[in-house]
Structure 1
Amino acid sequence: MYAPERQHEIVRLARESGRVDVLSLAEEFQVTAETIRRDLKALDRAGLLRRVHGGAIPAGRLDFEPDLAERESTAADEKDRIAKAALAEVPEDGTVVLDAGSTVGRLAAVLPPDRSLTVVTHALPVAARLADHPGIALHLVGGRVRHSTRAAVDAWALAAYGQIRADVAFVGANGYSAAHGLTTPDLAEAAVKRAVVAAARRVVLLADSGKYGQEHFARFGGLADVDLLITDTGLAAEDAAAIEAAGTEVVRA
């Protein structure tokens, strides 16, 4: 089977089942996993599929949301570097908001335990990592907890963020681009992220390069709302330059 025939069949399978994975496709077509990854990359570039961890989904699935465990294991090294770079943006003392998200969670994990901070978060994993830090005054925002993100959403969370003003907010996103802004699959999650952005004097987006150019169902802001993007070196220099030309500083860790 030639590559175009195989890729056509991969698209058909993805549309039928909603998702395809690399290992199953490699077995199905009797080729290597690396060959399938090249196919998926070509189909992603063509706009026919969207690559996700371990496979791909149909391009039209803007509401697809991987679970927390899958997001934790995706681009792990890049996220660790981003989190360490983000430490430079954490004030010595003051108030910070930590959004839900695997990369922001990694920042929480590397915060020095003796740092004197007030931290506000609606993310249960973030709160769990900081609960025993003696120098941190931790405020946990409540609401309905979404199982896929372990984050509080809806009216309680929105009301809480409407009552505070923080020095800096560290925000995550499922996708970001100059054209489509900051996006996430869920409307309730997007509403809370929008409130987080509005609650801080300075906004730092922590997002790996694999999310650049991705578009999801719910938009919660534009890159103009972000003071600093911390990403990894996988973001092309020309893309970083375009983002900076629009007014957002970029650090590639």
Structure 2
Amino acid sequence: MNQRSAARLARLQRALAEGGSLRLAEAAALCEVSEMTIRRDLAAGQGELLLIGGYLMRGDDPRHAPVYDLAAQRDRHAEAKRRLCERALATLEEGDTLFIDCGTTLMPLAMGLPEDLSLTVVTYALNVAEAVSARPGVRLWLLGGAYHDSSRSFASDEMAAAIRAFGLNKAFLSAAGVHPRHGLSCFHFHEVAPKQAAIATAERRLLVADASKQGLVRPARFASLADIDEVIAE
């Protein structure tokens, strides 16, 4: 690595010293070089900085861990997720057709669907479907395709079109990252299409996010905060 390249990486590390992320274009502008030059600098570096989904971030920042494991996430912030889902449950109305996103945040919602309401649930998450299937009076649509064990969810090229075919009253969405400027993001790119289809289709879009997701940027961006009607947060 030459001296100028090392100096640029050092400058970017200082800019990210307190965490967060930079768009590749922002990093290039900060160093007054092209985006390709920044890519070459990163390739020549030792992994101190990473480029994930168009965002530059510190390699040692634990908030940007590149791996999502659903089993490991199950018990994290469980009480906060339960409280938030209680508030989400209070929004339900008789006859609602709901989209319930994948992950662990919305599991208390899926497990707590009231038995005295006639509801339809659309999901691409196996864990959500298993919980919903145990609720009497709830009609379940599980969208299939290739199975991804890390998030216990399915993916297919037809899934977005299938979601748009439903008349969704409410879409309950989860995100691994909620950033005021960079919007909503998740770890897995196969989740982007169903999330965006639900946002485009639903009458009301509700994001449920505990405090651990605030201020983070994950690899796969799927929406801005302006695309959401209500944020249920701590």
Give the superposition deviation at 1:193.
Answer: 1.2
Following the alignment from structure 1 to structure 2, what is the Cα–Cα distance between the partners of residues 173 and 163?
23
Equivalent-residue separation in structure 1 for 2:59 and 2:173 (angstroms): 25
Counterpart in the other structure of 1:46: 18
Query: Which runs of 5 or more residues in structure 2 are unaligned?
Result: 1-15, 21-47, 49-57
Q: Which runs of 5+ in 1 are unaligned?
A: 1-43, 50-55, 233-253
1:105 and 1:61 mapped to 2: Cα distance? 22
> Which amino acid counterpart does residue 206 of structure 1 have in structure 2?
V
- CA drift of 1:62 comes to 4.9
Supply the distance in 1 between the matched residues of 2:96 and 2:86 (Cα, whole angstroms): 19
Q: 2:140 is matched with which residue?
A: 138
CA distance in 1, matches of 2:230, 2:153: 23
Q: CA deviation at 1:185?
A: 1.6
Letter in 1 for 2:194: V
Q: Percent identity?
A: 37
Q: Kindly indicate whether the alpha-carbon contact (under 8 Å) linking 2:205 and 2:229 is maintained by their aligned counterparts in 1.
A: yes
Aligned to 1:157: 159
Counterpart-to-counterpart distance in 1, 2:151 and 2:108 = 14
- The aligned counterpart of 1:9 is none
Matched, 1:218 2:220: yes
What's the counterpart of residue 85 of structure 1? 87
TM-score, scaled relative to structure 1: 0.67
Taking the aligned partners of 1:166 and 1:138, their CA distance within structure 2 comes to 13
The answer for the alignment partner of 1:109 in structure 2 is: 111
* Correspondence for 1:187 among 162, 186, 189: 189
Distance 1:63 1:46, change over 3 A: closer
After TM superposition, the score normalised by the length of structure 2 is 0.72
RCO higher in structure (CA 8 A, sep ≥6): 2
What residue identity is the alignment partner of 2:111?
A
Preserved contact between residue 144 and residue 156 of structure 2 (Cα < 8 Å): no
* Alignment equivalent of 2:128, drawn from 121, 126, 129: 126
The 1:201–1:45 alpha-carbon spacing in structure 2 relative to 1, beyond 3 Å, is: farther
Amino acid at match of 1:74: R
**2:120 is the alignment partner of 1:148:** no
- Cα distance, 1:77 vs. partner? 1.0
Greater shift in the superposed pair: 76-85 or 152-161: 152-161
RMSD (CA atoms): 2.3
Deviation string 1:46-68 (CA, Å, 9 cap, x unpaired) is 2289xxxxxx9723985713211
- CA distance in 2 between counterparts of 1:62 and 1:218 reads 12
Asked if the contact 1:131–1:138 (Cα under 8 Å) also holds between the matched residues in 2, the reply is yes
Q: Which amino acid aligns with 2:19?
A: G
Q: How far apart in 1 are the matches of 2:188 and 2:65?
A: 7
Shift of 1:103: 1.3
1:65 corresponding residue in structure 2: 67
Normalized per residue, the structure richer in helix is 1
Match of 1:177 in 2: 179
Q: Deviations over 1:187-210 (max 9, x none)?
A: 111222111211211000011011
